[in-house]
Amino acid sequence: MNKKTSPKLSDDNLTIEFDAKDFKKSLPHLSSELMGGEKTINIQGIQNIVPDPGAIDFIRRCSTKEEAFEIIEFLLNRNEISLDEFQSLKDQIKNQGLSSFGPQKKKGYYEKKFRRNNIIQ
């Protein structure tokens, strides 16, 4: 007679010990998953990196040309833009205006765009 043994709770009360044959017979799919080797899932598409804003991003936050000039001078002094970029941006602001860089980014733009609903850090 083949008697089925019942699972036993371990001494630490954290694990349950099964007879391997009974486990395979009772739960064949779970048994094959657990004993069938390493399984991996490739997750693509989760991106938590928020890109650093560039000169144009800062310019798009400005309300006036004077603010934009101040921003690009600050970026030049910090060596975040080259002198050529500075001159090009300055000319574009003077000749074409702030709207040539795209619509103005209002307060809360980045919060809305890069909001993390379920991640609390």
Tens of pLDDT, residues 94-111: 999 999 999 998 888 777
pLDDT value of residue 55 = 94
Polymer length of the chain: 121
Supply the pTM of this predicted model: 0.54
Q: Domain residues of the chain, as ranges?
A: 7-40, 55-113
If pLDDT is split at 50, 70 and 90, which confidence band does 4 have? low
Distance CA 48, CA 34 (A): 31
* 1 vs 109, higher pLDDT: 109
If pLDDT is split at 50, 70 and 90, which confidence band does 2 have? low
CA distances from 22 to 29, 32, 102 (A): 13, 13, 67
pLDDT value of residue 27 = 85
Residues 6+ apart with CB under 8 A from 57: 105
